[in-house]
Amino acid sequence: MLQKHSLSDKIAKQQAELNYAGLLRRRQALSPTEGESVDFSLNGRHYLNFSSNDYLGLSQAPQLLDSLNSGAKKYGVGSGSSPLVTGYSEAHASLERALCQVTGHESGLLFCSGFSANSALMKTLFGHGDTVIADKLVHASIIDGLTDSKATFKRFLHNDMQSADRLIAKYSPQAVITESIFSMDGDMAPLEALSSSCKRDNTWLIVDDAHGFGIQAALDNYVPVSAELADVQVVTFGKALGCQGAAILGNQALIDFLVANARDYIYSTALSPANACVALAAVELAQSSDTRALTLADNIEYFKRACSQANITLTESMTPIQPLIIGDVDKTVSVAQQLKESGIWVGAIRPPTVPKGSARLRITITALHTHDEIDRLVSALTLALGVASDQA
């Protein structure tokens, strides 16, 4: 008889291995400052935050705060049940209609998170006998969903159209999947070229638009995702829209199919109507003549110019996501710690989130940062990188 292993021993062993490799994840409870600010405090110390995906600073916008208040007063703070019971309200329908008006899709379906939306889409739409190809760097939620689906899953070289076209010609897949802006590299997918290739092969193009939706006005040479380009578009609300939730957008037949078959949707309590009200306000604000997008574009340009003058080498990303690839895990963690000692918070991203040898600082620029704060970051980076080099 085989001896049963202890789950406690398993947990302890794996945690020890991660800790030894410098890859153990921990969470920390932060306290934000009041008003529209990028500061927060931890253990009584204030930090300047360059890790947020709240690119437009909408999470603290007065219009969204008012929408949350009025939505909660009208609907309460929860939805009460799944969407197919009594959890689907006019607030949800209004948000879906607004997203469709912006993107040109026929219909939409709301989820509580982008991870849930991607995972549900993959494992509901695809199954044994289907073939899907995806960019090498698509999000973990897509990979997990496709793994659960049992579909044949092939990956093309990142943003490489020759690699994508070769796999499309070889496998004639049901769908090609990419992101609009990639979360760890900040670069943009060749959406127009991918769309053309998919249309020639009668293949669906699915785009995870988590980091692109809402900031198109801040980006040069960026083609916004829409029904003209993509058969399916996944929009998340926790990035540029500054709130919570996600939506799958596509044709009516797809949405009806997901309503009837997506277990994540059928058996989950719906996104609260109050949060739907907030997301609707965020969509409207992001599409308006609000100056936040212009401020964001200016801040991105200013940061890249300041880094160039300081001989800090960044990638070619022109999006709010500005990776500084260091490579070595220990050196990356050391630089991030040096920044924290200077009162600046930047995420140290390590494998398996990114490929081995590409550990990096994932710096994110927002519309709320000032030029003085960006100068402070660049000065601290220069010092921290110098210290890390001396220690190497």
Q: Active-site residue among 92, 105, 123, 239?
A: 239
Q: Active-site residue among 92, 105, 123, 211?
A: 211
Q: Active-site residue among 96, 135, 179, 264?
A: 179
Length in residues, the chain: 392
Active-site residue 19, yes or no? no
Give the residue from 238, 103, 114, 116 showing the smallest Cα distance to 179. Answer: 114
Neighbours of 19 (CB within 10 A): 11
Active-site residue 106, yes or no? no
Active-site residue 261, yes or no? no
* DSSP-derived pairing of the beta strands 45-49 and 344-345: parallel
Determine the Cα–Cα distance for residues 137 and 183; give it in Å rounded to an integer.
9
Active-site residue 139, yes or no? yes
Determine the Cα–Cα distance for residues 143 and 153; give it in Å rounded to an integer.
9
How far is the CA of 19 from the CAs of 6, 7, 218, in angstroms? 20, 18, 39
Q: Active-site residue among 92, 105, 123, 139?
A: 139
Give the ranges where the chain is alpha helix by DSSP (H).
7-20, 62-75, 90-103, 114-125, 140-149, 161-171, 191-200, 252-261, 263-266, 273-286, 292-309, 329-341, 371-391
Determine the Cα–Cα distance for residues 73 and 147; give it in Å rounded to an integer.
42
Q: Active-site residue among 51, 52, 53, 334?
A: 53
Q: Active-site residue among 149, 183, 197, 268?
A: 183
CB-based contact 184:353 (threshold 8 Å) = yes
Active-site residue 211, yes or no? yes
Q: Active-site residue among 208, 231, 264, 373?
A: 208
Indicate the SS3 state at residue 385: helix
Please identify every residue annotated as catalytic.
Answer: 53, 139, 179, 183, 208, 211, 239
